Amino acid sequence: MVKILLQAGHAAWTSRSGYSYPDGGGAPGEAQWAWDLAHLMAARLAASDVESLIMGQWYGYELPEPPEAADPADLFIALHYDAAVYSPPTGCFADRWANETETDATDSFIRIWSDSYPLATGISLHNERRNARTRLYYAYSAVKIAPAVLLEHGCGSPVPVGIYPPGGDSKYLHDHIDVVASVNVAAILSYLIEHGLLPAEEAEDMAKIAELESKVTELVSTNSALSDQVGALREEIGKRNADVTRLTDALATAERRTRPRYVEVTTEDDIVHPFVREVPV
Ligand SMILES: [Zn+2]
């Protein structure tokens, strides 16, 4: 069975060794987001008969490397997003270890992901942002038998970080984490097919399902945006109806004020004709 190692960047977790790793910083909200993303991906991969193993972080000199990282696997993927330290404050990229021996594998996965993720999410590709932290990422050396890549999914911080503004991709990444999971899984399945690790037919079906799922997610989110608009319009109509009632009342009051205060009760008829009527016929 094919196996994928997923690392939720910065997330606290407990290894099968029994060691509990603490939360490892990262951009605001990143550890929880990466943890959620890893679990969404694992569920989708399981539907394609692809086993996955989720790890958190182990950054820091005093922290032991988890045994999971050394498991034989077909791919190791570290999941991250950035604070908005770039100009423009949006964009994604993928990188791999500078000392990677399986560069054919890593580079083919990076190519597949780079061709699909930016297109599906609208988050533009900025591979020129690869840097020492992503090229010499601490986890690579612990991964013994798997090509290892790192994905920066965009500038996802929902709040400013120091002098940097909130990430331009934050709303998308947090609102559409399902789409991110589907696109990542579709890229993994394509990679596995390309390398003869997964039967093409079944995997293609699964990729189609993943694509449909992402479309459904988009529709659900569009519908919820539309229903928000309907709610706002209803509220507006309510306010306007209240205005109409208020103005109608004011108009009625004004009309009452313009009428004579005392109505004449005696008219010429009242004075003259009673006598006339009293005349016997
Ligand atoms: Zn990170």
Looking at the domain assignment, is residue 245 inside a domain? no
Total of domains in the chain = 1
| Domain membership flag for residue 215 | no
pLDDT in tens, the chain (281 residues): 899 999 999 999 999 999 999 998 899 999 999 999 999 999 999 998 999 999 999 998 789 999 999 999 999 999 999 999 999 999 999 999 999 999 999 999 999 999 999 999 999 999 999 999 999 999 999 998 899 999 999 999 999 999 999 999 999 999 999 999 999 999 999 999 999 998 887 666 777 777 777 787 788 888 888 888 998 999 999 999 999 999 999 988 888 877 655 555 555 555 555 555 454 55
**Distance from the alpha carbon of residue 176 to the mean position of ligand 1, in angstroms:** 18
The Cα-based distances of 254 to 55, 243, 257, 258 in angstroms read: 74, 16, 5, 7
Residue 267's pLDDT is 57
CATH of the domain at 137: 3.40.630.40
Domain that holds residue 73: 3-207
Ligand 1 center–CA 39 separation, angstroms: 17
- Going from the Cα of 31 to the center of ligand 1, the distance in angstroms, rounded, reads 8
Q: Is residue 227 part of a domain?
A: no
**The pLDDT value given to residue 62:** 86
Is 267 inside a domain boundary?
no
pTM to 2 decimals? 0.73
Instruction: Establish if 278 belongs to a structural domain.
Output: no
Per-residue model confidence (pLDDT) at position 280: 52
- Residue 45 inside a domain? The answer is yes
Helices (H), the chain: 30-47, 103-121, 132-135, 170-175, 177-194, 200-258, 268-278
Provide the β-strand partners of residue 164: 161
Residue 197 counted as domain residue: yes
What integer pLDDT is reported at residue 228 of this predicted model?
86
> How many whole angstroms from 58 Cα to the centroid of ligand 1?
12
What does the pLDDT read at residue 152?
98
